[in-house]
Amino acid sequence: MVKLDSISKSFGGNTVVKNISLEIAAGERFTLLGQSGCGKTTLLRMIAGFETPDSGTIAIEGQDVGSLPIEKRPVGLIFQNYALFPHMSVYDNIAVGPRIRKHSESDIAKRVDELLEITHLKALRDVHPGQISGGEAQRVALARAVINRPKILLLDEPLSALDLSLRQHLREELVEMQRALNITFLFVTHDQEEAMGLATRMGIMDEGRLQQVGTPAELYERPETDFVAEFLGDVNRLTGKVEQRTGNTVTLSLGPTGNIQCISESSELENQTCYVRPEKLFFDTGRPQTQPVNILQGTLRSIQFFGSHSRYQLELAGGQMLTLSPQHRKSGCPQYSIGDSVRVLFAVSDVFTTRRGANEQ
Ligand SMILES: Nc1ncnc2c1ncn2[C@@H]1O[C@H](COP(=O)(O)OP(=O)(O)OP(=O)(O)O)[C@@H](O)[C@H]1O
Ligand SMILES: [Mg+2]
């Protein structure tokens, strides 16, 4: 549906989009996640035609759209700070696009009514934007953006102005509406939960570069770069001296903390960095383990209770902090206190390494 090939863009010598290539298939909900200023909006503006890339090509359904003006591109856009026309009813706000294109009022009515149905706005048809909620306004913006039947809808942080509970609710609604409209979504956000919750696939951007593309699970479980490993979700980073390498099993010395093992394809002979997610760490209950595990000992420095799980900070002998967030079992949450000396376990297979360092793209 969309194919970006080596897109770059600079503003006054500052390159904000760097050689991005990306393909998005029809019907996907693709999310781009990245910190503020990493170039997300600039990329969307180039796809929509508000900016011209310095180099590279953009194709939609196989057609190079480089020479197409904004209004000819089969693209709908919901801006970061979208605004509805305050003096027009919900119906008239949605009808703006086709009226500019001089479609007949009967065609427009048919399409608007269909969209009011899909977006659950029928009851608000004749109401003005000042009298509707933030979530409802967001749905009007969606209907307005898709009324001209774009092939792809670009959504630039459309939920960022809304409060948290409404955002979560609208996220589910957006997925439902995307299916009903059978449209391709390209959604950009700096909110991880939003990016993962909405996506069929996602990409992670950093300083204008696309770091990695995959399903949310692939990016979380198999990050390819140190940046992705540390950016997406919580992770413990452990760097040690390579003591021994047997096949792809590496023994690392963490100094006074002890040794751990990990699986690594790299042939690094001196130092190796590896990662383990906090939810993969467990307190040692003395039960025998069925798989190879690493054992570390430390002192509990903080405990936070979150209902389904707790979060613990453990200080290892070398002074390094380790975060644990095991799920609570049926037997209830374990009883530990700050200052306790504890042993924690994690499976060797839950320790991962990345293929590329943060600055080795
Ligand atoms: N028209 C412009 N002229 C000059 N610099 C620009 C222009 N548009 C964007 N930039 C710069 O390009 C960089 C990327 O901006 P962009 O708006 O794409 O980031 P973003 O990822 O959308 O950030 P946010 O999450 O805050 O919306 C920023 O440093 C910004 O200042
Ligand atoms: Mg932006």
Residue nearest (by alpha carbon) to ligand 1 atom 1: 11
- CATH label of the domain that carries residue 104: 3.40.50.300
Q: Does residue 172 sit in the same domain as residue 79?
A: yes
> Is residue 359 in a domain?
no
**Ligand 1 center from residue 340 Cα (angstroms):** 48
Cβ-contact 25, 1 below 8 angstroms: yes
Q: What's the CATH number where 316 sits?
A: 2.40.50.100
Atom of ligand 1 nearest to the CA of 42: 18
Ligand 1 atom showing the smallest separation from residue 205 Cα: 21
Distance 38 CA to ligand 1 centre (A): 7
Q: Which residues pair with 324 in a beta bridge?
A: 312
Q: What are phi and psi of 140, to 5 degrees?
A: -65, -40
Neighbour count for residue 209 (Cβ, 10 Å): 18
Query: Does residue 64 sit within a domain?
Result: yes
Among all ligands shown, which has an atom nearest to the Cα of 12? Answer: 1
From first to last of the 361 residues of the chain, give the pLDDT tens digit: 999 999 999 999 999 999 999 999 999 999 999 999 999 999 999 999 999 999 999 999 999 999 999 888 999 988 877 789 999 999 999 999 899 889 999 999 999 999 998 888 999 999 999 999 888 888 899 899 889 888 899 999 888 777 777 788 888 888 988 888 889 999 999 999 999 999 999 999 999 999 999 999 999 999 999 999 999 999 999 988 999 888 888 899 998 888 999 988 777 778 888 999 999 999 988 888 889 999 999 999 999 988 888 899 999 988 899 999 987 765 555 688 999 999 999 999 999 988 765 444 4
Domain boundary among 209, 230, 251: 230
Pairing status of strand 282-283 against strand 293-305: unpaired
Ligand 2 mean position to 79 CA, how many Å?
9
Q: How many alpha carbons fall within 13 Å on the CB side of residue 78?
A: 28
- Give yes or no: residues 223 and 239 share one domain: no
In the reported structure, the alpha carbon of residue 41 is separated from the centroid of ligand 2 by a whole-number distance in angstroms of 4
Shared domain for 152 and 242, answered yes or no, is no
Name the residue range of residue 76's domain. Answer: 2-230
138 found inside a domain = yes
Residues 286 and 299 in one domain: yes
From the CA of 189, give the closest atom in ligand 1.
25
Assigned domain for 260 exists = yes
Of 169, 199, 230, the residue at which a domain comes to its end is 230
Amino acid, single-letter form, for residue 14: N
Residue 279 CA to residue 259 CA, distance in Å, equals: 20
**Is residue 213 located within the same domain as residue 318?**
no
For residues 134 and 221, membership in a common domain is answered with yes
Ligand 1 binding pocket, CB closer than 6 Å: 11, 16, 34, 36-42, 80, 190
Structural domains of the chain, count: 2
Residues 13 and 116 in one domain: yes
pLDDT (tens digit, 9 = 90+) per residue, 16-57? Answer: 999 999 999 999 999 999 999 999 999 999 999 999 999 999
Last residue of a domain, one of 160, 195, 230: 230
235 with 224, same domain: the answer is no
What is the whole-number distance in angstroms between the Cα of residue 170 and the centre of ligand 1? 26
Number of H helices and number of E strands within the chain? Answer: 8, 19
